[in-house]
Copies of this chain bind each other. A is one copy, B any other.
Amino acid sequence: MRTHTCGELRIEDTGKEVVLCGWVQRSRDLGGMVFVDLRDRYGITQLVFSDSIDEELYKKAKTLGREFVIKAKGTVVERTNKNLEISTGYIEIVSKSLEILSESENVPFTIEEETDGGEELRMKYRYLDLRRNVVQNNLIIRHHLAFEVRNFLNQFSFLEVETPVLIKSTPEGARDFLVPSRLNPGQFYALPQSPQTFKQLLMVGGIDKYFQIVKCFRDEDFRADRQPEFSQIDCEMSFVTKEKIYEIFESLVRHLFVRIKGFEPEKFYVMKYDDAIKYYGTDKPDTRFDMKFVELDKFAKGKGFKVFDDAELVVGIKIPGCADYSRKQLDSLTEWVKRPQIGAKGLVYVKINSDGTYKSSVDKFFSNEDIKEWADAFNAEEGDLLLILAGENKHTRKALGELRLEMGNRLELRDNKKYKCLWVEDFPLLEWDEETSRYYAMHHPFTTPLEEDIPKLDKDPGNVRANAYDLVINGVEIAGGSLRINNRELQSKMFEALGISKEEAEKQFGFLLNAFKYGVPPHGGIAFGFDRLCALFAGTDSIRDVIAFPKNNAGRDIMIDSPAAIDEKQLNDIKLKIDIKK
């Protein structure tokens, strides 16, 4: 139907007879000449329809509107007025025929690099938004990433194995989406939150290197930038150490950077979870910039400043070269930390003036010598600014971690072109939940405790560390994994620690416990958030930008208007009744 795409013709093609198809990006009538920018996925080519060559054709070309789909035949000629910004800008097509394949009404927003359409409108007309270069490029990056992941893992003998989508609900963990079974009335399938147990069974089955790029599902109360369905690069290996896993998946990430970005990221560091919390207040530190936490308790307490004296923790960060912050700037920072999302009670600052003196918001309570101790603890130099928070340990660290990121943003230290990759490891095995008064698995119930912590599992489960690790890039959790339990006794003990009864464990995970009777290799794995990885490579903050047909934050697909009511007959088929009052 076409001989070339709209991104293909060059000066060397001059003289060729060609047929192009595409969308009318723009059409200009210069009196006697109509110029049409014809667009497809590959580029834009200029067509010329001239009154002097074919009057009929010229008249027809004048009727073309934006987004009409046309087919045009013509000859490639060199342009007098070259456009150096596009790869086809040296040529144009002198057209000899024109077929309108499909007309278009006025589109609801402009199909341009920068569009006038708001997000809601663009989601409703996603098929039009997809025509924009920036959106197509995101899908192209996604395609290439998936392709290169497969290439790499295939080379290392990983097998891609499809695990089932219609599985069984396991109330442990997040909420499942359920699927009523018509043939088994009153029974349900569930959609997988991850293929965790299936990939472990593949290890039991001797498939010693498995991966899958796979859709997973989580019925969460929706919040910003979560999707009820999301994609994972799910991987598992047998007879493997943690170090081997780091090595292979660091190589994978390097491979992706080389193939997609054309460069390799710097060395991957390894950080203990405890250190991440201690120095960055988060388990996913953005290490593109420094500003490590410094604890000031021993200098700051006992000097009569009640806020510090009553605090479980006094901790701060050093902002290099910001001692000249104005009162207004500091007030705005104080307001910022007091916002409910951050929740600090106040902010203490210390300026290390250029003459070596100090100016702080707590001068009343602390002498110059006191403050010097703080400055020394920070290794602060003239011109630096210290920002200090105090309060309950966990909460204060979290707030300071947020402030650190905010300062990174304000000082433009979070460079989009820079990539810092970090393994965070030795996570706590269990998390205490106040509401339900029980422990939950921080990763999942199949993760091994550190060998040396196993004895603590009975009497001090909260302090047991896990063979669990996350890959963090630029402060974003890109992947997470663990070494798995491969024996029945430890697995049972783990269920016990989670307060899952023997009966319940048998009901939910009987097939896995049963499998553990028959020779289970040591195994471990990792899962990458594929949407998140795509967003990182596409340089966008929102995973919606890298999903062809995303749902909104309320889980609705506003293009197809789903979810929706169903027919009474369909409800009858699955033997269910809607009971909103419940």
Contacts and interface: CB of A to CB of B under 8 A. Distances in A.
A186 B578 contact: yes
Contact of A548 (B147, B202, B549, B551): B202
B219 A188 contact: no
A562 B146 contact: no
A173 interface: no
Nearest to A547: B162
Interface stretch (A252-260, A337-345, A461-469, A563-571): A563-571
Contact of A555 (B71, B181, B565): B181
Interface stretch (A100-108, A266-274, A310-318, A451-459): A100-108
B162 A21 contact: no
Contact of A566 (B188, B238, B547): B188
A167 B557 contact: yes
Given A159-B143, A206-B131, A555 B183 contact: yes
Interface in A303-332: none
A574 interface: yes
A470 B126 CA distance: 31
A424 interface: no
Interface string A160-197: 11111111110100011111111111111111000001
Contact of A576 (B67, B554, B559, B576): B576
Interface stretch (A439-447, A493-501, A512-520): A512-520
B168 A561 contact: yes
Nearest to A130: B205
Given A1-B244, A139-B207, A181 B563 contact: yes
Contact of A167 (B187, B560, B565): B560
A257 to B, nearest CB: 19
Contacts of A278: none
A189 B551 CA distance: 12
A346 interface: no
Interface residues of A, number: 125
Nearest to A522: B101
Most chain B beta-carbon contacts within 10 A, residue among A150, A197, A549: A549
Interface stretch (A221-229, A291-299, A377-385, A401-409): A221-229
Contacts of A202: 127, 130, 548
Contact of A551 (B129, B164, B579): B164
A361 interface: no
A249 to B, nearest CB: 16
A566 B178 contact: yes
Contacts of A569: 171
A2 to B, nearest CB: 5
A358 to B, nearest CB: 53
Given A21-B239, A40-B206, A126-B201, 16 more contacts: A101-B522, A105-B517, A128-B205, A131-B205, A142-B162, A147-B154, A164-B549, A168-B562, A171-B569, A183-B554, A185-B578, A187-B563, A187-B565, A511-B560, A572-B582, A577-B579
